[in-house]
Chain A
């Protein structure tokens, strides 16, 4: 089933950097969709359209539609705060808020008005377990999150997103700063998570793209070149440019 439908989406930043040109694609529910390609291809831009984080950036022009469950989320009248609770995001560099581990995880819920201590505690345990970090931090939930290692921080950041029980999770090169073991843990968590969430991932390497993708979309300088099932795209791409990139001939 399609969760998201992107229709003729174009976007240009005011400083002329990375942009999207007339991108159309449907994104499946309960699957990992990978956006890959060289830097500056528009992957981050697309992710940031899906939770309207681009609102914080100077955008010169944009057109097209993004439908989530059939509703256009680019509508200026949309409640973006509510949207961002449905569409969570994990960034390339883990940025723990200057709070304890526990408060990092409950932050989104508390901002949404949840005050019930029991519910918050439940959310902490549930989401830290989902993010495969519970055992490592359960005895020190009140320590500052910054004291954790980079890999642990990133999983807390993932848990922080999961606590809101979003429908869609966006991950922008979430393992770029992590060691292989932490990366493996995050990837394993994603495989578990896709059962209940729609996951869109901009991987930090082509290998990660191949490992994780149910569906994969190849972006080059703002254009969507090819979009297909992961198995097909990484074994027999239709486009020459996709093949060249996967084979490592450029990028």
Chain B
């Protein structure tokens, strides 16, 4: 009887683990499936002309260079505003802010900022940057809008990585006659940098793939030339994908999937870079 029970326990365990493995595999399926599907459908569209040429024949032929360049500009623009601001805010919150009402208010604001639907950011950007500050529909306005959207991600990951640096480093550094700011600059930031970078890349990656925030603030349906100032509007890959998928009749399906593939590769590459930075730092870390 006991023997039977024991065997039964093992069977139950094996069944449980099999089930868990299955569930894990199921969660991986969508991403693998998407990549394979897009690769299969759009792979043949990726030609040198597609990557370096302008759209022709009402975007039904030619390439998507202006959209690629535009997304690059927007990502860089977003980084210029959101990275210094986000890291500075994180340093304040992790190292200087005491637990008072103001700090709590800032935290609540950041959490809520992260929860706002992206189309609302778009409308806000339209109101503030495009109309009120008269930046027009431009790379500048779109980058600023994307920055606001990216800030909470950068702030919270950066704060988290600053906090994870052991308190004893701070105590020791201070006891050796370093000022608080020296301690942050020489020890804390250096140790937290990989984590901060990971957050920055993940935030920018999200910004690069967004359509709604740039819809009213900077994205153009079609432009015959590349933008040459931050006050120009620009094409962008996600918006271009939206346009050719819904707004252009008789669009060759191959080009749609090709565009999706480019966007996917762009975003996944950033993801891989973030992962590499993180795992390298983890291997090198001394605490």
- By a CB distance below 8 angstroms, the chain A residues around B187 are 97-98
> Which stretch in B68-76, B172-180, B196-204, B221-229 binds the other chain?
B172-180
**Bound Cα distance from A92 to B45, whole angstroms:** 65
Partner of B175, one of A51, A82, A98, A146: A51
Is B286 part of the contact surface with A, judged by Cβ < 8 Å? yes
Closest B residue to A55 by CB, please name it: B174
Please, what's the 1-or-0 string for B179-217, where 1 marks a CB less than 8 Å from any CB in chain A? 100100011001100000000000000000000000000
Inter-chain contact B176/A107, CB cutoff 8 Å: yes
User: Quick check: B168 and A53 within 8 Å, CB to CB?
Assistant: no
Residue from A53, A85, A97, A108 within 8 A of B169 (CB atoms): A97
> Contact between A53 and B175 (Cβ–Cβ < 8 Å)?
yes
Inter-subunit contact A88/B178 (CB<8 Å): no
User: Quick check: A164 and B176 within 8 Å, CB to CB?
Assistant: yes
B171 within 8 A of A: yes
The reply on A84 being an interface residue by CB < 8 A is yes
Let me know if B177 and A97 touch, CB within 8 A: no
B132 within 8 A of A: no
How many Cβ-Cβ contacts under 8 Å join chain A to chain B? Answer: 63
> Which has the most chain B C-beta neighbours within 10 Å: A81, A144, A160?
A81
In whole angstroms, what is the CA distance A127 to B73 when docked? 53
Is the C-beta of A118 less than 8 angstroms from some C-beta in chain B?
no
A56 sits at the interface (CB 8 A): yes
Question: In the bound complex, what is the Cα–Cα distance between A91 and B168 (angstroms)?
Answer: 10
The docked-state distance in angstroms from the alpha carbon of A59 to that of B191 is 29
> Which A residues are in CB contact (< 8 Å) with B96?
none
A93 to chain B, nearest CB (A): 7
* Residue interface mask A45-58, B partner, CB < 8 A = 1: 00000010100100
A111-B186, A144-B286 known; A95+B168 contact, CB < 8 A: yes
Contact across chains for B172 and A85 when beta carbons are under 8 A apart: no
Looking at the assembled complex, report how far the CB atom of B274 sits from the nearest CB atom of chain A, in whole angstroms.
22
- Nearest chain A residue, comparing its CB with the CB of B185: A111
Q: Could you tell me if A56 and B174 are in contact, using CB atoms closer than 8 angstroms?
A: yes
Pair B176/A84 contact, Cβ less than 8 Å: yes
Q: Contact at A108–B174, with CB atoms within 8 Å?
A: no
B176: chain A residues at CB < 8 Å are 84-85, 88, 107-108, 111, 160-161, 164
Q: Please indicate which of the listed interface residues A85, A95, A160 has the most CB atoms of chain B within 10 Å of its own CB.
A: A95
Asked if A112 lies at the interface with its beta carbon under 8 angstroms from chain B, I say yes
Q: Which residues of B contact A112 (CB under 8 A)?
A: 177
- B168 and A108 form a contact (CB under 8 A): no
Given the known interface contacts A53-B171, A84-B174, the answer about A98 and B190 at a Cβ–Cβ threshold of 8 Å is yes
Q: Is the CB of A108 within 8 A of B286?
A: no
Docked complex Cα distance between A91 and B170 (Å): 13
Taking CB atoms, residues of chain B closer than 8 Å to A144 are 286
Give 1 or 0 for each of A15-52: 1 = CB within 8 Å of chain B CB.
00000000000000000000000000000000000010
Tell whether, in the assembled complex, residue A98 and residue B286 are in contact, meaning their CB atoms are under 8 Å apart. Answer: yes
Instruction: Collect the chain B residues with CB atoms within 8 Å of residue A84's CB.
Output: 174-177
**Residue of B whose beta carbon sits closest to that of A83:** B177
User: Is A89 an interface residue when CB atoms closer than 8 A count as contact?
Assistant: yes
Contacts of A91 in B (CB 8 A): 168, 171-172, 175
| A110 and chain B: residue at smallest CB distance | B186
Q: C-beta contact mask, A147-175 vs B, less than 8 Å → 1, else 0?
A: 00000000001001100100000000000
In chain A, what residue has the closest Cβ to B169?
A: A97
Contact A111 B179 (CB under 8 A): yes
Chain B residue numbers with a CB within 8 Å of A97 are 169, 172-173, 187
B177 pairs with A98, CB closer than 8 A: no
A66 CB to closest chain B CB (Å) equals 16
Tell me how far the C-beta of A55 lies from the nearest C-beta in chain B, rounded to whole angstroms: 9
**Distance, CA A97 to CA B190, complexed state (A):** 11
Nearest CB of B to A130, in Å: 16
- Identify the interface centre among A81, A89, A97, A108: most chain B CB within 10 Å of its CB: A97
Q: How far is the CB of A150 from chain B (nearest CB, A)?
A: 14
Chain B positions within 8 Å of A81 at CB level:
177-179
Report whether A111 and B182 are in contact in the complex, using a CB–CB cutoff of 8 Å. yes
Q: How far is the CB of B261 from chain A (nearest CB, A)?
A: 42
Q: A: which residues have CB within 8 A of B?
A: 51, 53, 56, 81-82, 84-85, 88-89, 91, 93, 95, 97-98, 107-108, 111-112, 144, 146, 157, 160-161, 164
Q: Considering the complex of A and B, which 3 residue pairs feature the smallest CB-CB distances, nearest first?
A: A85-B177, A108-B176, A111-B178
In the complex, 28 of the A-B residue pairs with CB atoms within 8 angstroms, ordered by the A residue number, are: A53-B174, A53-B175, A56-B170, A56-B171, A56-B174, A81-B178, A82-B177, A84-B174, A84-B175, A84-B176, A85-B176, A88-B175, A89-B175, A91-B168, A91-B171, A95-B166, A95-B169, A95-B171, A95-B172, A98-B187, A98-B286, A98-B287, A107-B178, A111-B182, A112-B177, A144-B286, A146-B287, A161-B176
Known: A56-B170, A56-B171, A95-B169. 5 other contacts (CB 8 A): A81-B179, A91-B175, A97-B187, A98-B169, A107-B176
